[in-house]
Structure 1
């Protein structure tokens, strides 16, 4: 006959399980906002990537014929996956390209970048592009 002292019970106690669940909850509370910011920065990065394809064409047209002969190519796609609208504004000494992130959260857009815009301005005298944005600094693409 086996005594009750020699038998070893296995398993986790309720307190051990509750501690594990609490640790997982704390980690999730930290990780979810960080992940959402990461997604927002990735969505915002579509703007500069989208506009980069037009920069060289616009710079060339501005140097060749000035603002009068410079226009956004007619075959250009005015929007991307997260980009709602792209506008080109020719100017005498500077032209600008602006892309606007979609404003609807239903489309999966991070609310920190929804409806915000990124503007690149080309100055003909210096031949340089400058970037500005309406996004919060932690969401803005590098170089803006």
Structure 2
């Protein structure tokens, strides 16, 4: 009978120190994960900004084939601003050089930075450039 009482008392639950250790471990994991998550968010915002201006490349090529100049985003089927771009600029010259640029909206690492598609006149190739930190650039923009 006495051993039954001892057994019930031993199964009371977790001690305060055990709970404090668990809370400390969770805090450390959160402190490590939060900066990595913020970088992931910034990288996805840059990729989304690039995705919003990329469709304009096809219309730029179409206008060049027709011999038309382009000076506004609307002429290449883009809005002046979008969810990820506070301003979009587009320009194409008759010699074939052109660009489509987005001024980005996002967290503090991204807001105000630019991402741009540039077309060279000679070979007609498109290249991506951006003013954001290299760790946030999409693979298309890494040189």
Shorter-normalised TM-score: what interval?
A: 0.7 to 0.9
Q: Report 1 or 2 for greater relative contact order, CA contacts < 8 Å, sequence distance ≥ 6.
A: 1
> Secondary structure of the equivalent of 1:87?
strand
| Higher helix content, 1 or 2 | 2
* Aligned match of 2:78: 76
Offset at residue 61 of structure 1 (A): 1.5
1:42 positional shift: 1.2
Unpaired stretches in structure 2, ≥5 consecutive residues: none
Q: TM-score, normalised by structure 2?
A: 0.84
CA contact (8 A) 1:122 1:129 kept: yes
Question: Alpha-carbon deviations, 1:28-80, whole Å to 9, x = none?
Answer: 00111111111111111122211121101102222331xx5334434631211
- Aligned CA RMSD, in angstroms, stands at 2.0
1:98 aligns with 2:101: yes
CA contact (8 A) 2:69 2:92 kept: no
Specify which of 12, 19, 22 is matched with residue 21 of structure 2.
19
Q: 2:113 aligns with which of 116, 124, 141?
A: 116
Aligned to 1:106: none
Quote the Cα distance in structure 2 between the aligned partners of 1:7 and 1:131: 69
Please report the TM-score for the alignment, with normalisation by the length of structure 1.
0.83
Moved over 6 A (4+): none
> Aligned partners of 2:19 and 2:133: how far apart in 1?
40
Q: Does 1:141 align with 2:138?
A: yes
